[in-house]
Chain A
Amino acid sequence: MNQKENFFKGFVKENPLFVSVLGMCPSLAITTKVENAIGMGVAVFFVLTLSNLVISLIMNSKFLRDLVKPVRIPVYIIVIASLVTIVEMVMHAYFESLYKSLGVFIPLIVVNCIILGRAEAFASENKPLDSAIDGMGMALGFTFAILIISLFREILGSGMITIWGDAALDLGFIFEFLRISPIDIFIKPVGAFLSFAFILATVVAIRSAGDRRKAKAGADK
């Protein structure tokens, strides 16, 4: 696998949310606004890229690898928790409204399966540069997925798109034109599951159609 494939695999082929179905908890909880999805995406990007890089550096050094191997999972957790705490402190200081909006889901990035999963499955077995690229790709794939969910939920549930702070796009005129109100349920927890189910079903249908086309093309040859 070259570096381009390594980077882009997280977007579609191995998307952590829509294919591996990892990191569901924050994805469903914080996707009430696009702003939250962007903030969470940036936080996960920072943590996942650096944790993959640091863990790969540790595991690529023969001396450190031998020392760390028996306690590698606690070591991964220490590295990830430190990075998450840095994100939390910086967000608290400079992006307070986002910090309050994401709430407990910032420290919960520590136990996000995507991060520990990539550390164990990829970073511990690959070179630092490849691991960092894998982390970036996976984080962007995750961000892309939660952006889709939050767009779906916020448009249907609030009739607007909150991009950042006061920068928001009011789509109320569409609802007025259709003479309906925004569907409140989509910004509630149940709406998160419904939205995820709709989007996942669509993704699976598209993938299946693609697979069928490929199989048919293969059979025709």
Chain B
Amino acid sequence: MNKSLVSGLVLLCFGVVCGLLLAIVNHFTAPVILANEQRVIRETIRTFFADVDDYDLEEIELEGDLEMAYLLKDKTTGAVHAAVYRVSAVAYNGRVNMLIAIDQELVVAGYSFIDNSGTEGLGLNLANLDFGMGDKPIAAWAVEFDTIAGATITSQGYAPAYDGGVRNCFALVAERVGTDFGGDA
């Protein structure tokens, strides 16, 4: 038989045996990995909604800058109680990656920064400050969110870029909430 063919078949056999072995190991480890990931997600969502365990958690993988939606659904009716979105947008000197939590009134229940490469010193500390936005709906956050109103001329130089990026994150969520909750933001 052709030597190259034999060599190819040998490699194929080894590949199949190793693939089967990996499939067996994966059968045992994959559920543990998934459970760990779910636990981390629930811990993160708990910072926004303490009663997260009272609801079913549905993950929806989205496309583009709005990367992921986590919907907290009522265990009996299936109605969406709240949602947390993982979203990113171009901001000052890099991208800003955020988690934005929305309650059923379509009001921002909280937000946090996963990563903010442009302004780590300031950006990551912005979470939990509402900058006077209070209970305004998500659509308003997408337009009016302003971290440095009245700041110096120098810092105003970065305001459009930075706040623009954060507002874009809120805008992407504002566009999406109608789909998840039903109705308009």
A-side interface residues toward B, CB under 8 Å? Answer: 67-68, 70-71, 74-75, 78-79, 81-82, 85-86, 89-90, 92-94, 96
Could you list 9 A-B pairs, sorted by A, with CB under 8 Å?
Answer: A70-B3, A81-B18, A82-B18, A86-B22, A89-B33, A90-B25, A90-B29, A92-B29, A93-B29
> Least Cβ distance of B5 to chain A in Å?
12
| B-side contacts of A86, CB under 8 Å | 21-22, 25
Q: With contacts A79-B18, A92-B33, A94-B32 known, is A71 near B26, CB below 8 A?
A: no
| B-side contacts of A74, CB under 8 Å | 11
| B-side contacts of A96, CB under 8 Å | 36
Interface residues in B, total, Cβ within 8 A: 18
Partner of B14 from A78, A85, A90, A94 at Cβ < 8 Å: A78
Taken together as a complex, chains A and B put the C-alpha atoms of A93 and B36 apart, in Å, by 8
Task: Decide if the interface of chain B is mainly helix, strand, loop or mixed.
Answer: helix
Pair B25/A71 contact, Cβ less than 8 Å: no
Pair A78/B25 contact, Cβ less than 8 Å: no
B-side interface residues toward A, CB under 8 Å? Answer: 3, 6-7, 10-11, 14-15, 18, 21-22, 25-26, 28-30, 32-33, 36
Pair B14/A79 contact, Cβ less than 8 Å: yes
Taken together as a complex, chains A and B put the C-alpha atoms of A71 and B3 apart, in Å, by 11
Taken together as a complex, chains A and B put the C-alpha atoms of A70 and B4 apart, in Å, by 9
| A-side contacts of B28, CB under 8 Å | 93
Taken together as a complex, chains A and B put the C-alpha atoms of A92 and B34 apart, in Å, by 10
Pair A93/B18 contact, Cβ less than 8 Å: no
Pair B14/A89 contact, Cβ less than 8 Å: no
Taken together as a complex, chains A and B put the C-alpha atoms of A82 and B3 apart, in Å, by 25
| B-side contacts of A79, CB under 8 Å | 14, 18
Partner of B6 from A67, A78, A81, A90 at Cβ < 8 Å: A67
| A-side contacts of B21, CB under 8 Å | 82, 86
Taken together as a complex, chains A and B put the C-alpha atoms of A74 and B25 apart, in Å, by 22
Pair A93/B6 contact, Cβ less than 8 Å: no
Pair A70/B7 contact, Cβ less than 8 Å: yes
Taken together as a complex, chains A and B put the C-alpha atoms of A78 and B21 apart, in Å, by 12
Pair A89/B26 contact, Cβ less than 8 Å: yes
> Least Cβ distance of A78 to chain B in Å?
5
> Least Cβ distance of A5 to chain B in Å?
32
